[in-house]
Amino acid sequence: MNDSNFVEMIASIAQAFGPSGNERNVREVIEPMLSGCVDEVRVDALGNLIAVKKGAGKKIMLAAHMDEIGVLVTFIDEKGFLRFGNVGGVSPFISVGMRVIFENGTVGTVWYEEKMDSMKELKLDRMFIDIGAVSREEAETMVCVGDMAVFCGEAVETNGRIISKALDDRAGCAALVALARMMPETENEVYYVFTVQEEVGLRGARTAAWGIMPDMALAVDVTDVGDMPESHHMAVSIGKGPTIKIKDSSIVCHPDVVSRLRSCAEKAEIPFQYEVLTAGGTDAGSIHLTAGGIPTGAVSIPTRFLHSPSEMISVEDLKGVVNLLAAFIQAGEESQEEDLSSGQDGEDTNDAGEN
């Protein structure tokens, strides 16, 4: 896949409407992209899209979530303004002045009550969405209480980077699609899982893992960076390769999976970084606690401006993610068994933490 096709695929997935619990449109974009690449495609009861490349070896689950953050209408006042709550991690400060779009195409602007004494008082319950209606009756012909909207943010490419809404985690979804299209030769049975409701509690990955019962799993998601002016201290930068997660708020990654990822990256000469995320989590957090415990790790895409309509990633970093995942699933069954029974947990964890 050339770069222009890759970018086009990322953009088409990112621009689909898909807040948590309403991921149908994203599934409808992704599923045709998998045609001819896998042996089976199904949708489970919660809405996860699961594509399977069959094999006689280990069951490997790769998970990327389809849902994005958004807002939900809670009340419509007599003048037609919409009060709203959050679907996932929505910042009131990032939201001010942003446009949102509902599934039916209705667009509105987010603003705040101007009688506040200080912007420190800015909370979602003191904000509203203006859809241009002049009355409750007119507004109710356009949206209803309970309707969800997502932030507007078109996808653009600049200087080898992509800026768009919902790269968290449509970039991860694109990586899995690209990997499936490569169809790397492997004896392992690979499950490409496009999960639902990650942003509201890592829910879809839990049910998918129970249904699959994999031998090992990787979450593929975005992560924060520490490379911007006066940013917090974090040893991750855009353009320096994918990250191998060590820990976040939801998981301490299985040390043998971390070691395996590191070995695959080194052998394939894929630049990579180590990730320690002090806040936030990924689908790995629910997968590793499922069915008596599943050895789980995570590969992440360094991303600026998380949970905003203008998230930014590097195309080269995302290609590195695809290559690292390919190396991981291609590793032989024999070496996997050795890795997962090596008992060198302390050595692997210390090496990872020092880099």
The residues carrying an active-site annotation are 198
**Angle between helical axes of 24-33 and 167-182 (0-180°, round to 10):** 20
Cβ proximity of 313 and 222 under 8 Å = yes
Cβ proximity of 101 and 152 under 8 Å = yes
**Angle between helical axes of 315-330 and 167-182 (0-180°, round to 10):** 50
Q: Round to whole Å and give the CA distance between 92 and 175.
A: 30
DSSP annotation string for 181-250: HH----SSEEEEEEES--TTTSHHHHHHHHHH--SEEEEEEEE----STT----S--TTS--EEEEE-SS
Secondary structure (3-state) at 1: coil
Residues 6+ apart with CB under 8 A from 263: none
**Cα 348 to Cα 100, 208, 284, 293, distances in angstroms:** 45, 29, 19, 20
Do strands 161-164 and 156-158 pair parallel, antiparallel, or not at all (unpaired)?
Answer: antiparallel
